[in-house]
C-alpha cells in the first residue's frame, strides 16, 4: 500500500492511500467525534459531527468520507470546527425529546455522550419537533422515530449485514423517517427481530421491548413458581452491564444474582442445548442414513427462522425440526419438571434470559404450546436482566459464585459453545462422531468451524463417511450459503446458521456497545467455559440420560417429537398486500 504523509493538528501523520482522514487521525491517536459513522458499515458524511478544517478547502469537510492526500493539512479542533460541531449537535438536540433521565438508553446514548463531550449546556434553537407515537407492534423491537437522528446506521446493518432491508429512509426533508415501506408497522414488515439495529442505534430510537414488568409481577406473585433459564451467551456478557471487561465469565455470579431477584429455581439453557444436540444429532444421522432432505440446517436462531420463512420458504424442509433450546426448556419445564416436583404447570412461570430480541418473538409463536401451555412466559434480554439487577440493588461484582439448580441446570461444554458461531456445529460433531462411529473422539476441538470468518467450511470424517459442513453467521452470509445450496444441492450435508454476527454472543439483546473486538473477546470466553467443564459432550450429560430413561424414551421418540420438535410456515413478504 502506498503511504501518504499529511499533517493533522500540526503533527506529521503517515497513512495509507485510500484511508479517510478520520481513520488516519484515529491511528495517530487523535479522536474526531462522530455520530452517524459506523466502522466498516456506515461512512456517509450525513451528520456533519466529524467535520475538520482542511487548508485550501472552502468549507469544513466530513472526515469520515474525506480521503487522505499527500501534504494535506488538517485541523480537527479549530474554533471553526468546534463552532460547527456545536451548532450541528444543538440542531439535533432541538428536535430531540430531552427526556434523557427516563430514556432506555440513559447512560449508553451516543447523542447524550456527544453533547457531554462537546460541553453543550444549552440549546440555542427552538423549532418544530418530530414527536409521534412509538411503533410498539413488534414483540421484540420498539421504533421511536421521535428519537431518530437519521444516521442510517440501522439501515446499513439491516441491509449490508443482514440483507433483510426491513427499514429504509422514506419521504424527504423534515418528513424523512426510517421506517418499513408503506407505513407498515414493524410487526407486519419483513423485520426478522434480530435486533442488530438496536445495537447500532446511537439513541433510543430503536430498542428492545422491555418485558421486565412482566417478570417483576411474576416474582411478586406467591402462587407462581418462577423458574429461569440462562442462554449460553449471557454468562460471558452480563458482567459488561456492571462495567466488567468484555470476555468476563460470570456464570456463577449470574446464578447468584438471579437467586437474589427471587427466582425459585435457576436453570440453564445449556441443558436443553445439550438436548438439542442429541435430538438434532439423531435427526441428522437419520437423514443421512434414510435419504432424508439434505443439507439439514440448524434451527436454534429465531431471527434466522423468520428469515428462511420469509425469503427462502421453498427451503423450509431443510430445517431441522428441532425447537430451539429456549423452547425445549419451556416444554420440559411444564411437563417433565412439573411432574417431578408436583407443581401444576399452570402455576409455573418460565423466564428466559437471552442475548436475543428475536427470542421474544419466538416465545409468542403459536407453534410453541405443545404441552398445552406456552413453553415460555417471558423473555428478557441480557440488557433487561442488567437493568433489573441494578433496580434491585444487586451488587453484581461482590456476589459469590453459585451453582445452577438440578436437574435442568446440569450441562456440558458442548451446550455452552452454542453461544458462538460454529458452536452448534462443533457440539453436534462431537456427538454425531461418537454416535455414528461408536469410538471416542481423539480431539474435541473442531478449530475449523470456530472464529469470526463469515462462512466456514469443513469436511469431517465420520469413520469413512465424509460429511461436508458449513457454518454461517449474519443473515447476509446465510443468504449466500442458501444460494450456493440452491445452485448445488449436494454441496453440504449439514449447515449451522446463526443470525447475528459472531453468533449469540453478538446478539441483538446484548450489552451496548457490541463491536467486533468485543465479540471476539466474548467468543474466547465461551470457549474458556467449554474448556473448563468436566463434561464436554452433550450425549454424556448425566441428566439428559436420565431424562430419556424417565420421560422421553429415546432420541426422536414420539414424545420427543410432540414436545421438542416443530414445523414452520412460509411467510409472504408483504402479508397485507
Partner 1 sequence: MGKASLEVAQQHATGPAGPGGAGTPAQDMARVREIISRLRDRPAPLLPILQAIQKEMGWISEEAMVEVAEALGIHPSQVYGVTTFYTLFATRPKGKHVIRVCASAPCHVPGAGAVLEALKKALGVEVGETTPDGKFTLELTSCIGVCGVAPAIMIDDRVYGNLKPADIGAILARY
Which residues participate in catalysis according to the annotation?
280, 283, 300, 320, 359, 362, 367, 504
Nearer to partner 1, 127 or 222 (CB): 127
* Single residue of 165, 387, 528, 561 touching partner 1 by CB under 8 A: 165
Nearer to partner 1, 58 or 172 (CB): 172
Stretch that binds partner 1, among 7-15, 117-125, 168-176, 473-481 (CB under 8 A): 168-176
Nearer to partner 1, 2 or 577 (CB): 577
* Single residue of 71, 169, 317, 570 touching partner 1 by CB under 8 A: 169
DSSP string, 471-503: EEESHHHHHHHHHHHHH-TTS-SEEEEESSTTS
Is 525 in contact with 239 (CB distance < 8 Å)? no
Residue 172 near partner 1 by CB under 8 A? yes
At its nearest, how many Å lie between partner 1 and the CB of residue 514? 24
**Secondary structure (H, E, C), 187-246:** HHCCCCCCCHHHHHCCCCCEEECCCHHHHHHHHHCCCCEEEEEECHHHHHCHHHHHCCCC
Q: How far is residue 541's CA from residue 521's CA, in Å, rounded to a whole number?
A: 27
Q: Are strands 225-230 and 206-208 parallel, antiparallel or unpaired?
A: unpaired
Cell of 477: 452470509
* Single residue of 16, 486, 573, 575 touching partner 1 by CB under 8 A: 573
* Single residue of 132, 181, 403, 553 touching partner 1 by CB under 8 A: 181
Is 400 in contact with 256 (CB distance < 8 Å)? yes
Cβ-based burial of 175 (10 A; exposed 0-12, middle 13-18, buried ≥19)? exposed
At its nearest, how many Å lie between partner 1 and the CB of residue 171? 5
Nearer to partner 1, 403 or 570 (CB): 570
Cell of 216: 417483576
Q: Taking the alpha carbons of 102, 108, 111, 112 in that order, is the dihedral positive or negative?
A: positive
Q: How many residues bind partner 1 (CB under 8 A)?
A: 16
* Single residue of 74, 167, 197, 338 touching partner 1 by CB under 8 A: 167
Nearer to partner 1, 32 or 167 (CB): 167
Per-residue x/- track, 78-117, partner 1 (CB under 8 A): ----------------------------------------
Residue 290 Cα distances to 142, 317, 469, angstroms: 45, 15, 18
Count of CB atoms situated within 10 Å of the CB of 483:
11
Q: Footprint of partner 1 on residues 183-202 (CB under 8 A)?
A: 189-190
* Single residue of 170, 321, 437, 557 touching partner 1 by CB under 8 A: 170
Stretch that binds partner 1, among 124-132, 164-172, 277-285, 493-501 (CB under 8 A): 164-172
Nearer to partner 1, 60 or 178 (CB): 178
What three-state secondary structure class fits 139? coil
Q: How far is residue 199's CA from residue 240's CA, in Å, rounded to a whole number?
A: 14
Residue 171 near partner 1 by CB under 8 A? yes
Alpha helices in 49-146 (DSSP H): 79-94, 110-117
At its nearest, how many Å lie between partner 1 and the CB of residue 373? 37
Nearer to partner 1, 154 or 389 (CB): 154
Count of CB atoms situated within 10 Å of the CB of 534:
7
Nearer to partner 1, 165 or 468 (CB): 165
At its nearest, how many Å lie between partner 1 and the CB of residue 29? 39
Query: Residue 151's closest CA among 96, 78, 87?
Result: 96
Stretch that binds partner 1, among 94-102, 179-187, 299-307, 470-478 (CB under 8 A): 179-187
Is 6 in contact with 22 (CB distance < 8 Å)? no
At its nearest, how many Å lie between partner 1 and the CB of residue 170? 5
* Single residue of 166, 219, 266, 472 touching partner 1 by CB under 8 A: 166
Residue with cell 479517510: 20
Q: For residues 236-256, b (16+ Cβ closer than 10 Å) or e, as one string? A: bbbbbbbebebbbbbbebbbb
Nearer to partner 1, 72 or 155 (CB): 155
Q: How far is residue 409's CA from residue 544's CA, in Å, rounded to a whole number?
A: 11
Residue 182 near partner 1 by CB under 8 A? yes
Residue 118 Cα distances to 86, 218, 248, 564, angstroms: 7, 44, 32, 54
* Single residue of 67, 134, 168, 476 touching partner 1 by CB under 8 A: 168
At its nearest, how many Å lie between partner 1 and the CB of residue 162? 12
List residues bridging with 35 in a β-sheet. Answer: none
Nearer to partner 1, 181 or 513 (CB): 181
Residue 570 near partner 1 by CB under 8 A? no
Stretch that binds partner 1, among 102-110, 175-183, 347-355, 499-507 (CB under 8 A): 175-183
Residue 542 near partner 1 by CB under 8 A? no
Q: Footprint of partner 1 on residues 499-518 (CB under 8 A)?
A: none
Residue 486 near partner 1 by CB under 8 A? no
* Single residue of 33, 139, 180, 386 touching partner 1 by CB under 8 A: 180
**423 Cβ neighbours under 8 A, 6+ residues apart:** 232, 416, 417, 503, 526
Q: How far is residue 543's CA from residue 400's CA, in Å, rounded to a whole number?
A: 25
At its nearest, how many Å lie between partner 1 and the CB of residue 191? 10
CA 447 to chain CA centroid, Å, is: 22
- Sheet architecture: strand order including 378-381: 265-268, 225-230, 348-354, 378-381
* Single residue of 1, 2, 133, 577 touching partner 1 by CB under 8 A: 577
Q: How far is residue 6's CA from residue 21's CA, in Å, rounded to a whole number?
A: 9
Nearer to partner 1, 6 or 167 (CB): 167
Residue 303 near partner 1 by CB under 8 A? no
At its nearest, how many Å lie between partner 1 and the CB of residue 168? 4
| Interface residue list for partner 1 (CB under 8 A) | 165-172, 180-182, 189-190, 573-574, 577
Amino acid at each position: 500500500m502506498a503511504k501518504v504523509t499529511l499533517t493533522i493538528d500540526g503533527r506529521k501523520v503517515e497513512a495509507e492511500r485510500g484511508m479517510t482522514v478520520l481513520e488516519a487521525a484515529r491511528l495517530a491517536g487523535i479522536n474526531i467525534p462522530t455520530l452517524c459513522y459506523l466502522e466498516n458499515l456506515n461512512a456517509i458524511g450525513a451528520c456533519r459531527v466529524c467535520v475538520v478544517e482542511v487548508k485550501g478547502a472552502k468549507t469544513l469537510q466530513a472526515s469520515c468520507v474525506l480521503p487522505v492526500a499527500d501534504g494535506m493539512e488538517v485541523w480537527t479542533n479549530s474554533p471553526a470546527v468546534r463552532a460547527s460541531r456545536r451548532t450541528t449537535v444543538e440542531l439535533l438536540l432541538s428536535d430531540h425529546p430531552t427526556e434523557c433521565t427516563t430514556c432506555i438508553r440513559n447512560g449508553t446514548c451516543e447523542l447524550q455522550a456527544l453533547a457531554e463531550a462537546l460541553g453543550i449546556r444549552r440549546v440555542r434553537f427552538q423549532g418544530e419537533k418530530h414527536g409521534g407515537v412509538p411503533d410498539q407492534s413488534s414483540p421484540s423491537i420498539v421504533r421511536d422515530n421521535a428519537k431518530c437522528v437519521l444516521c442510517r446506521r440501522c439501515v446499513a446493518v439491516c441491509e449490508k449485514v443482514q440483507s433483510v432491508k426491513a427499514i429504509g429512509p422514506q419521504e424527504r426533508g423534515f418528513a424523512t423517517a426510517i421506517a418499513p415501506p408503506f407505513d407498515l408497522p414493524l410487526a407486519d414488515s419483513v423485520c426478522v427481530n434480530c435486533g442488530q439495529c438496536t445495537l447500532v442505534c446511537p439513541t433510543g430510537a430503536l430498542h428492545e421491548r422491555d418485558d421486565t414488568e412482566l417478570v417483576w409481577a411474576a416474582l411478586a406473585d406467591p402462587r407462581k413458581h418462577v423458574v429461569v433459564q440462562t442462554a449460553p451467551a449471557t454468562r460471558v456478557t452480563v458482567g459488561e452491564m456492571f462495567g466488567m471487561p468484555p470476555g468476563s465469565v460470570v456464570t456463577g455470579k449470574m446464578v447468584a444474582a438471579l437467586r437474589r431477584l427471587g427466582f425459585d429455581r435457576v436453570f440453564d439453557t445449556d441443558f436443553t442445548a445439550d438436548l438439542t444436540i442429541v435430538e438434532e444429532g439423531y435427526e441428522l444421522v437419520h437423514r443421512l442414513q434414510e435419504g432424508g432432505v439434505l443439507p439439514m440446517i440448524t434451527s436454534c436462531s429465531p431471527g434466522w427462522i423468520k428469515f428462511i420463512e420469509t425469503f427462502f420458504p421453498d427451503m423450509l424442509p431443510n430445517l431441522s425440526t428441532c425447537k430451539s433450546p429456549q423452547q425445549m426448556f419451556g416444554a420440559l419445564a411444564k411437563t417433565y419438571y412439573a411432574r417431578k416436583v408436583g407443581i401444576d404447570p399452570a402455576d409455573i412461570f418460565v423466564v428466559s434470559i437471552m442475548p436475543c430480541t428475536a427470542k421474544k418473538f419466538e416465545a409468542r409463536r403459536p407453534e410453541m404450546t405443545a404441552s398445552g401451555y406456552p413453553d415460555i412466559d417471558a423473555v428478557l434480554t441480557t440488557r433487561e436482566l442488567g437493568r433489573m439487577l441494578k433496580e434491585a440493588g444487586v451488587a453484581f461484582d461482590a456476589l459469590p459464585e453459585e451453582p445452577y439448580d438440578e436437574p435442568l441446570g446440569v450441562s456440558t461444554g458442548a451446550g455452552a459453545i452454542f453461544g458462538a458461531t460454529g458452536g452448534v456445529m462443533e457440539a453436534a460433531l462431537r456427538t454425531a462422531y461418537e454416535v455414528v462411529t461408536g469410538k471416542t473422539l481423539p480431539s474435541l476441538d473442531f478449530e475449523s468451524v470456530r472464529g469470526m470468518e463469515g462462512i466456514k467450511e469443513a469436511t469431517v470424517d465420520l469413520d469413512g463417511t465424509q460429511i461436508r459442513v458449513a457454518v454461517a453467521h449474519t443473515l447476509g452470509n446465510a443468504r449466500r450459503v442458501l444460494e450456493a445450496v440452491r445452485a448445488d444441492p449436494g454441496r453440504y450435508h449439514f449447515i449451522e446458521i446463526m443470525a447475528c454476527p459472531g453468533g449469540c454472543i453478538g446478539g441483538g439483546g446484548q450489552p451496548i456497545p457490541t463491536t467486533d473486538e468485543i465479540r471476539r473477546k466474548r467468543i474466547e470466553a465461551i470457549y474458556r467455559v467449554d474448556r473448563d467443564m468436566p463434561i464436554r459432550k452433550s450425549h454424556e450429560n448425566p441428566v439428559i440420560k436420565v431424562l430419556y430413561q424417565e420421560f422421553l424414551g429415546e432420541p426422536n421418540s414420539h414424545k420427543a417429537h410432540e414436545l421438542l420438535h416443530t414445523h414452520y410456515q412460509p411467510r409472504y413478504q408483504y402479508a397485507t398486500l
